[in-house]
Amino acid sequence: RMTKKILLDICKQQKLYWTPYLNDTLYLHYKGFDRLENLEEYTGLKCLWLQCNGLRKIENLEAQTELRSLYLQLNLIEKIENLEPLQKLDSLNISNNYIRTIENLSCLKVLQTLQIAHNKLQTVEDIQHLQECPSISVLDLSHNNLSDPSIVAILETMPNLHVLNLMGNEVIRKIDNYRKTLTVRLKQLTYLDDRPVFPKDRACAEAWAVGGLEAEKAEREKWETRERKKIQDSIDALAAIRQRAQEKRKQKSMEGVATDTQEDVPGQEAATDQAELPEREEEYAEIEQFKLKTLAALSLDELPDLEDVVVSEFPPEDEIFIQKQDYHPKIEIISEVTNDSNSALEENNKSVIENSVEEVPTAIFSNVCQNHKEHEKEHLRPLLKSLFTEPDNSEGYLEVKDQEVAPLKPLIEEVITEPKDHLLLSPVCHQPDDPSSWEEDGKIT
């Protein structure tokens, strides 16, 4: 039962106002109620949800004078009644019930939406009461048992009918050219069943009603021509806007060129002759054409194949060699010996090598060594002796044989002498591995 306590609990559960008259919406659907009652305190309701219950009768709604929407679908209602207090009702949904005739709706002066699908309507008399409901603009009569084509005469008397749904009724198959007929006869119709009624559809239907298929075809061609013209006009307007923008950019560019020319020549007058303007425009057009040509993108097919390139096309080595003559690297002798004679020797070697580098290109370093081999022998021999001879205060020393020493590389790395049994020779000296080639005048102790 729909008791006051249950209604209050529902308001608490749905976080509505506990004071009944403050609520403008009340959700009572899917509760299993079989009777409408105890709603006297809910006077401020504007929307009442009662679908999916077991209601058999519409009753006890006298206090809901502000109600705008009433949802009673999916119940067990057999008759439309007791709606007189609901003078502000705008939408009524009584689909999926057991209603056999439409009645008692003329009292609802502002009713605009009536949904009465999935009921038991059959004859013209069952819907004849709709003639007394001129305010209805949305009518859903789908999935009933309507089969008499004369129901169109009833619908034709509804002046504000804009949306009509007759799907699921036999009458659809019994009316010839169903969609065209209803479009012509229902003058305010904008939506029929599952599709809208466009002005083009209405014009073609009215032409068909007057002159048959040929008139309909001619009217359709007129509409299509008009639509194509509208599209073409839009395209032309867009092209004109683009053309004007290009002309403005061109004019600004020409003004910029004229300003630059006047600034380059001091004392020149700002005004240019009218005869020179066409020539400048031609030059500007040539520049634009040249830019367009140069900015064209290259495709992969236009790129050369590396297999087809002839080796002879590359410049010879002599030219590369000549191009590298401008670079003269500085060659230094690396040595950390602090002896004054060695430092003087290093400076002498540096001057000799730098002088030699200036005469020969630096592309191949080995050629420098070959051209100045004799000079290097004379200056590097005393350095070699000093490296392998220890000072007088050391325990042992080594001297070099009088024999000819093999030619050395120009880069001499430091030889670090370790005491006692370890003596490291520089790898760049290229001395023979045989110890017999060296004269041992002293022993390491």
CA dihedral of 244, 249, 250, 253, whole degrees rounded to 10: 160
d(CA 146, CA 168): 9
Contact 186, 162 (CB under 8 A): no
The pLDDT score that the predictor gives to residue 114 is 96
Cα–Cα distances (Å) from 57 to 34, 41, 53, 54, 108, in that order, read 9, 20, 11, 9, 18
d(CA 175, CA 152): 9
Amino acid identity, residue 260? Answer: D
CA 423 to chain centre: 74
d(CA 142, CA 157): 19
Q: Which residues of the chain have pLDDT under 70?
A: 260-445
* Strand partners for 49: 27, 71
Neighbours of 122 (CB within 10 A): 17
The pLDDT score that the predictor gives to residue 256 is 78
Query: What is the tens place of the pLDDT at every residue in 235-284?
Result: 999 999 999 999 999 888 888 777 766 655 554 444 444 545 555 566 55
The pLDDT score that the predictor gives to residue 254 is 86
The pLDDT score that the predictor gives to residue 398 is 42
Model confidence, pTM:
0.55
The pLDDT score that the predictor gives to residue 284 is 57
Strand duo 195-196 + 191-192: pairing? antiparallel
Structure tokens at 129: 């009461």
